[in-house]
């Protein structure tokens, strides 16, 4: 009889404990689910960012040659527009002449430069991928090769860098090593050639005006 009176309170105690544990477990499960969802979402965001970065990188690789190609085409158009006879003077006031002709269905531009007291020299310009290349045929019987990659859509000058030469005995042999073409306006052009010999550079400056017909 004594034990019978004590059992109901004990069952009530366990019932109370169980009823308190269930909500706690439920809340923990909910928290765990939320945490898992957040972790999954975070991973998805990381993957999305990585994919977006790769996509932007791919677009830049595709677009860069297109932009560069457009700039080189713009620069070559400037050279084509030089087609005409030009006259002017060098840095010492001596008379100089040059002429430009578009050749080979518009794929090349030939310049024939005649400085005062010197034999004429010929330069061929052509597009070369994202740049403009030239080969200069010099009376000294070597053929320097130069190239420029335009860095702007607004072409005001082209600065050609030396990339080698045909029939050049050694780097110390005299040769044209650099050229800057500055488009002053539609009818005025400045050319600065750099002659290199024995490691020394000598600039050759010419100011030209389009010849009036």
Q: Distance between CA 86 and CA 100 in Å, rounded?
A: 8
Which one of 33-37, 61-65, 86-90 scores highest in mean pLDDT?
86-90
The residue extents of the domains of the chain are 79-210
Q: Each residue of 25-55: b (16+ CB within 10 Å) or e?
A: eeeeeeeeeeeeeeeeeeeeeeeeeeeeeee
Q: pLDDT tens for residues 119-153?
A: 999 999 999 999 999 999 999 999 999 999 998 88
Q: What is the pLDDT of residue 3?
A: 43
Name the DSSP class of 168: -
Q: What is the pLDDT of residue 43?
A: 75
- Considering the chain, what is the average pLDDT of its residues? 84
Q: What is the pLDDT of residue 147?
A: 98
Gyration radius (Cα) of the chain, Å:
38
Q: Which of 20-29, 109-118, 165-174 has the lowest mean pLDDT?
A: 20-29
CATH 2.40.128.20 fits 79-210, yes or no: yes
């Amino acid at each position: 009889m004594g034990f019978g009176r004590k059992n109901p309170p004990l069952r009530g105690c366990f019932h109370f404990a169980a009823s308190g544990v269930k909500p706690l477990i439920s809340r923990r499960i909910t928290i765990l689910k939320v945490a898992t969802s957040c972790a999954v979402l975070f991973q998805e965001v990381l993957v999305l960012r990585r994919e977006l970065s790769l996509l932007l990188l791919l677009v830049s690789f595709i677009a860069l040659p297109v932009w560069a190609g457009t700039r080189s085409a713009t620069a070559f158009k400037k050279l084509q527009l030089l087609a005409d006879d030009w006259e002017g003077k060098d840095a010492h006031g001596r008379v100089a002449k040059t002429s430009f002709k578009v050749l080979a269905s518009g794929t090349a531009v030939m310049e024939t430069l005649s400085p005062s007291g010197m034999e004429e020299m010929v330069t061929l310009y052509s597009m070369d991928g994202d740049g403009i290349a030239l080969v200069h045929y010099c009376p000294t019987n070597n053929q320097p090769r130069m190239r420029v990659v335009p860095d702007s859509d607004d072409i005001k000058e082209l600065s050609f860098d030396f990339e080698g030469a045909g029939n050049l005995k050694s780097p110390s042999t005299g040769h044209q090593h650099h050229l800057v073409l500055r488009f002053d306006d539609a009818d005025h052009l400045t050319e600065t050639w750099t002659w290199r010999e024995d490691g020394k550079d000598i600039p050759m400056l010419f100011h030209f005006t389009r010849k009036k017909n």
